[in-house]
Amino acid sequence: THNNNYVRSDLLAQTGVPMEDLRTKEGLLTALRAAKGLTYKGQAVIPYAGWWTRNLAEQFGMKVEDEKGNYLSKYRQPEWLEALQFGNQLYREGLMLPEEFTESLSQRRKQVQSGRIFFCTGYANVQEAKDILYSNDRNAQMVYVGQVRGDAGNMPNLKAVSSGGWTVTMVYAGTQHQKEIARFISYMTKDETTLDAAPSIGTETYDIVGNSYVMRDSVSKEFEENYKQAAEKYYLNLEFFVDWTVVQKYQPTSEREDFRKQYKGCKIYDSKAVDAASVASDNEMQLIKETIEHYYSGAEIEILTSDSAEHCIQKYQEAIRQMEQMGLKELEAYESRQYQAAKQKMG
């Protein structure tokens, strides 16, 4: 899963808040409030970044089905509303800034890289940026901190990342270079080339020892000294060809154990059926889905930026009413059928 939280350990030390407190809402709020007044290299620190309602709702324990196996629509789950209320509190207290809703992924990574962000949700937001930051300042470490539990204290229920990736390579049937393209794809999907193309591994960086890749000491040193320069030297930027099942086959046992420890207190669910539920092959349902999602993307910003907790709830309730007029109940029934059909195929 990519649904993780990260914190600047050096700045956290300045707040005096223990790391474990960041796994509760109140503890996190205490730390964010303390971070609000901090600076880093003359820049005001941004307490929180990386908002995505689904991530926080799942950290609070939002489920995708009930005890009888019935599909649950995310918009109606109590954890979804709890996440919106929490996000609204962050915004009203100035712990999450207005640019959070307009900033691109690239811009946010640059903020992480510059050292401005104290606490961030989502692996995609920190990825290489935290390593570049650390190579520029050995004290500036952004470390994994786990998940935040909601008011009920339920176990986080996190969506898995597809190990097969999320892209597909397509070739025009009438192309004049079918053999050459086939050879290229065949080459790019070999085990060795897959490892070379994988982010965090790269070409000419490792040796295979006992069926696992082991990073060379000289390469590790290069990344420590200047991560950005080393990344430009070794990374191919062809990660969309990568089949992660191949990478996992060669992953060192120690890395696997580290991952197991990280997610010991969480449930990570297989997302195939959920993903299937969100695909509308019916043209009418697709139109309803697009209309609702377009409306909600704007409505959610209005909810999160409400001027009071009461208005936050009122705007959420109004959004549900508006989406129902657009066909939300019909879409939920369709998604439920899609979900059950996908579960049957999966066995």
Give the whole-angstrom CA distance, residue 40 versus residue 33: 16
Give the per-residue pLDDT at 224: 87
β-sheet bridge partners, residue 134 = none
3-state class (DSSP) for residue 155 = coil
CA dist 321 and 109 (Å) reads: 36
Distances (CA, A) of 4 to 50, 58, 113: 10, 11, 18
Helix axes 309-325, 78-92, angle to 10 degrees: 130
* Total count of residues recorded for the chain: 347
**170 DSSP 8-state letter:** -
Q: Are 141 and 227 a contacting pair, CB within 8 Å?
A: no
Q: Find, among 52, 199, 50, 24, the residue nearest to 116 by Cα.
A: 50
Burial 234-266 (b: 16+ CB within 10 A, else e): bbbeebebbbbebbeebeeeeeeeeeeeebeeb
Q: What is the reported pLDDT for 335?
A: 92
pLDDT of residue 167: 67
Which amino acid does the sequence have at 231?
A
Residue ranges for the chain with pLDDT beneath 50:
none
Cα Rg for the chain, rounded, in angstroms? 22
Query: Is 0.85 surpassed by the pTM of this model?
Result: yes
Tokens encoding 218: 């000289």
Cβ within 8 Å of residue 19, ≥6 positions away? 7, 9, 12, 145
Contact assessment for residue 205 and residue 215, using Cβ atoms and an 8 Å cutoff: yes
CA–CA distance, 306 with 315 (Å, rounded to integer): 8
For residue 257, the model assigns a pLDDT of 83
Residue 106 is predicted with a pLDDT of: 93
In angstroms, rounded to a whole number, what is the distance separating the alpha carbons of residues 69 and 273? Answer: 12
**Contact between 59 and 156 (Cβ < 8 Å):** yes
DSSP class of residue 205 equals S
Unique residue bearing structure tokens 């991530």: 55
Q: Nearest 10 degrees: CA dihedral of 319, 322, 324, 325?
A: 180
Between CA 189 and CA 266 the distance in angstroms is 33
DSSP label at residue 242: -
